[in-house]
Amino acid sequence: MPGLLSLSLKRISPFVLGLLLTQPALSDSNSESSEQQTSGPSADTAPQGRLPLRELRNFTEIFERIRSSYVEEVDDKTLLEYAINGMLTSLDPHSVYLQPEAFSDLQESTSGKFGGLGIEVGMEDGLIRVVTPIDDTPAQKAGIKSGDLIVTLDGEAVMGMNLSDAVDRMRGEPGSEITLEIRRANEKELLTFTLERAEIKVASVRTETLSGGIGYVRITQFQEKTGPELNKAINQWTSAPEPLNGLILDLRNNPGGVLDAAVEVTDVFIDDGLIVYTQGRAANSELRFSATEQTSAADIPVVVLINGGSASASEIVAGALQDHQRAVIVGTRSFGKGSVQSVLPITEEKAIKLTTARYFTPNGRSIQAQGIKPDIWVEQSEVTPYERRVYKESDLHGHLKNQDGRPQSDNDNAQAKDQAEDKTISSNELLKQDFQLYEAHTLLRGVTILSPQMAKQKAESKTEPKTTAAQNDQ
């Protein structure tokens, strides 16, 4: 066996030879010492911290076979990079080897500006699955949907491509075109989309004021400035003359982003307690994040919208607010990405993105492959109100007059005001096109109506026992 080892070593590259010879603790499962340890590790495993010599022999043998027999010549550097990439991508869908361009793209995406189609993707069964299209991008405007499977890129099958290669093909100069063939659930034929690439500038926080004093906040991606932008928007609302009666936090199709940003967003709504914690093998992967007392929306009723495109940092926020009973979660079950990726630089231009921990909600729930289940399940659809003539008592000839002392004109004005408000709600484009948002808005309107009554009842209930006791003493 030693002779066979020396024969193999003569044929492999100097780089791999150096790797083998500089390891002080190789485990040779076929050596005499290993054969005598009948109660020790199996022949296919090595003690912790020691490299398995048999597997290293297999690697060097395969490496040499490829160098000498593959149909086209491949240099050693490329083969070793392929080996590294395969080692990482085989671990899970989110671990990857970041070459200079991919490393730069990752840094750009967390800052909110990058080029391409505006589509968040992942690998599934050799195909590229759309996690979510980003708002106001070529992918979203063309009708790409969360859950779509990309089958071909410019006519070339994606089967066999790694994720980095597929992403590289979708990126390109703004104005250039790319054709995607997509497999979609409940569609018999492949769908074809021709998209024009654009410079993608992602606005992390978008706000709008809905009727009834309801604020709407759409977070498209968690970036470095997401927390401050959200605080700024809420402070503008709360300092306005009109009261802020409730807030809808829209995290649908939000693929996640920076963990610290998710913590900052959650901290806007709670002033005490755990937000999220992580657990991993390395000591520095054990992290805990808690709320601070400085919060700008501690008492505002909140509804959080989620769906199958809500992933990672979005699930951290939704899970924390749900565990603290601080918000009502509305929509459909989230994506279920409960793992943490750390970017570990190898050189100034290269890095690995490695899954290093799982994260847990304050109540200890792991969301990995499970997702967040909404408190109120609402499927997406369009709101389609229809008009019809409804006759009321006041329309009948000879109806009795109201005896409250108000002129008929006042009653007519009040009715007209109610109709105008209802028309404003139904004509709001966001609410009209988005049933989940419509339901969230309706829920918050109900809370706005009930909250003063509940507060009044609570205040009265506190004084009733004292009054009864005083009466008993008399």
Identify any residues that bridge with 52 across adjacent strands, giving them in sequence order: 27
User: Please, are residues 194 and 415 in contact by the beta-carbon 8 Å criterion?
Assistant: no
Q: Distance between alpha carbon 352 and the CA centroid of its chain, in Å?
A: 21
User: Please, are residues 313 and 258 in contact by the beta-carbon 8 Å criterion?
Assistant: yes
Q: Identify the CA nearest to 367 among candidates 328, 319, 327.
A: 319
Rounded Cα distance between 195 and 134, Å, is: 14
Rounded Cα distance between 11 and 63, Å, is: 10
Q: Identify the CA nearest to 136 among candidates 121, 119, 111.
A: 119
What are the catalytic residues?
Answer: 312, 323, 337
Rounded Cα distance between 230 and 232, Å, is: 5
Which H helix or E strand runs over 277? strand 274-279
Q: How many CB atoms lie within 10 A of CB 286?
A: 12
* Tokens matching residue 297: 């929306």
Which contacts qualify for 440-445: CB closer than 8 Å, 24 or more apart? Answer: 440/248, 440/303, 440/305, 440/330, 441/210, 441/211, 441/212, 441/214, 441/248, 443/303, 443/328, 443/330, 443/376, 444/212, 444/214, 444/245, 444/246, 444/247, 444/248, 444/301, 444/303, 445/212, 445/214, 445/246
Q: Identify the CA nearest to 249 among candidates 198, 208, 290.
A: 208
Angle at Cα 204 formed by Cα 291 and Cα 433, nearest 5°?
A: 110
Cα of first residue to Cα of last residue in the chain, in angstroms, is 104
Residue 295 has φ and ψ, to the nearest 5°, of: -135, 140
Q: Which residues, 6+ apart, have CB-to-CB distance to 192 below 8 Å?
A: 179, 180, 181, 182
Residue 409 has φ and ψ, to the nearest 5°, of: -65, -35
